[in-house]
Amino acid sequence: KHFFRKFNGFGVSWSVLTYLQALADKFKCEKVNIFIHFKKDNEEIIYFAPAFKFLKSEKSYTDDTSKVGDFQKILSLDEFTRVEKK
């Protein structure tokens, strides 16, 4: 749940996304959603978006400072659906 201000969105590791997509294909799931849950100013906020939107996103980030280099696909907030609390 890392928020990228530069992209005004959240990133998910490429390895996680491809693993989820492989599971979805294996079990014939139509859609796998990614949920982001965090607190901002003591308000709980939940967003979700289909994993395929991340995979298709042209925005990406690589942490070059680590030895592993975590490649992430970024999705802007305007591409998420916000869950409204009832």
Q: What's the pLDDT tens digit per position in 1-32?
A: 578 999 999 999 999 999 998 998 999 988 88
Residues belonging to the chain: 86
Please, is 77 exposed, middle or buried when counting C-beta atoms within 10 Å of its C-beta (0-12, 13-18, 19+)?
middle
pLDDT band for position 68 (cuts 50, 70, 90): low
Q: What is the DSSP letter of 85?
A: P
The answer on pLDDT for 78 being more than 90 is yes
Which amino acid is present at 70?
Answer: D
CA distance 14 to 61: 10
The predicted structure's pLDDT at residue 66: 59
CA distance 58 to 72: 11
Question: Over the stretch 42-58, which tens digit does the pLDDT of each residue have?
Answer: 888 899 999 999 999 99
The predicted structure's pLDDT at residue 38: 80
